[in-house]
Amino acid sequence: MSIRLAIPTKGYKGMNDLISDVFGRAETFTYIDVEGKEVKNIEVIENSSRDFKLGVGPLTVKMLADKGIDIVFVTDLGPGVSQLLEEFNIKKIVIEHDTRVTDAVIEFLKQDYLDN
C-alpha cells in the first residue's frame, strides 16, 4: 500500500528539517511517499499560499488535496482547517513542537497505518 505524507516544514532540509509550528504559513511542505514500511520518495516544495492575506488554510488544504496527500503531520490546527482536511479525506497526525521530520516519519512507520 502506498501513502503520501505532507509535512509543513521550516525550510529545504527534507528529512533533516524541523516540522513547522504553523500550517498554512509554513515556508515549505515536505512530501514523502511511503510504500509498505519504506520511504520511496522525498520532495520539498515551497508553500505558494503562505503569503496570501486571507484564506491561507483553505488554499493550503486544496494544494495538498491536489497533490494526492493522504496524511498530514501538524503541530496544531484550527477547527476550520481540520474540517476541510476531513472533507478531502486527508488524515492528520498531531506531532510535538520541535520535532524533526525524520523522527516523525520513523515513529509513523512503527504504527499500523500501513497495515490497514
Q: How far is CA 72 from CA 7, 39, 53, 79, in A?
A: 6, 15, 23, 15
* Domain definitions of the chain by residue range: 2-115
Instruction: Using alpha carbons, select from 51, 56, 52 the residue that is nearest to residue 23.
Output: 56
Dist. CA 40–CA 109, nearest whole Å? 13
pLDDT of residue 114: 55
pTM of the model: 0.92
pLDDT of residue 78: 87
Contact 73, 5 (CB under 8 A): yes
pLDDT by residue for the chain (116 residues), tens digit each?
A: 799 999 999 999 999 999 999 999 999 999 999 998 899 999 999 999 888 888 899 999 999 999 999 999 999 998 899 999 999 999 999 999 999 999 999 999 998 765 54
Superfamily of domain 2-115: Dinitrogenase iron-molybdenum cofactor biosynthesis domain (3.30.420.130)
Dist. CA 54–CA 80, nearest whole Å? 13
